[in-house]
């Protein structure tokens, strides 16, 4: 169990957060077309997992825009935005924002993802959604960067995540 803060107040986060050098846990999440998608669907590609509570919050929207602009154009790299948002809402956000370099994936049918990736908020007003985190995987699904953002209202360290891909 980890602890992060929301507006300075401690909240509990369950699970084991992936560390650099570890193999990424497999997952099955729901894509915008309502199909279940596993980590294996992105085999051979580098992956940026931009894990956010909800695209309906300013910080989550900002991180998605920034990764769309920065990482989405990198060779052999896919940006996966993982949230508890329903696939319809996530798709609508990306269309409205003109974001075509990210793929949204929802945890709404896959509660195990949050625990497997150590981002399951278990206390406070956001209990049931994910903490803010960035996990970068190489083409073989080995973790090459991981950041569990200590204050949910803060943005992740984009420079560090992108440096792992260079």
Active-site residues, by number, are 60
Please say whether the beta carbons of 97 and 72 come within 8 A: no
Which regions of the chain does DSSP assign to beta strands (E)?
2-6, 9-14, 28-31, 36-38, 46-51, 77-83, 102-106, 120-121, 133-137, 143-148
The dihedral through the CA atoms of 64, 67, 73, 78 has a sign that is negative
> What does R_g of the chain's alpha carbons equal in angstroms?
14
């Amino acid at each position: 169990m980890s602890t992060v803060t929301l507006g300075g107040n401690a909240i509990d986060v369950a699970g084991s957060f992936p560390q650099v050098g570890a193999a990424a846990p497999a997952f099955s999440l729901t894509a915008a077309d309502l199909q279940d998608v596993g980590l294996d669907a992105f085999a051979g590609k580098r992956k940026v997992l931009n894990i956010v509570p909800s695209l309906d919050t300013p910080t989550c929207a900002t991180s998605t825009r920034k990764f769309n602009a920065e990482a989405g154009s990198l060779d052999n790299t896919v940006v996966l935005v993982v949230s508890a948002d329903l696939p319809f809402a996530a798709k609508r956000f990306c269309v409205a924002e003109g974001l075509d370099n990210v793929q949204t994936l929802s945890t709404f049918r896959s509660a195990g993802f949050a625990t497997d990736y150590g981002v399951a908020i278990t206390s406070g007003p956001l209990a049931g959604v994910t903490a803010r985190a960035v996990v970068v995987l190489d083409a073989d699904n080995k973790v090459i960067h991981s950041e569990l953002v200590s204050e949910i209202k803060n943005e992740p360290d984009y420079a560090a995540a992108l440096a792992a891909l260079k």
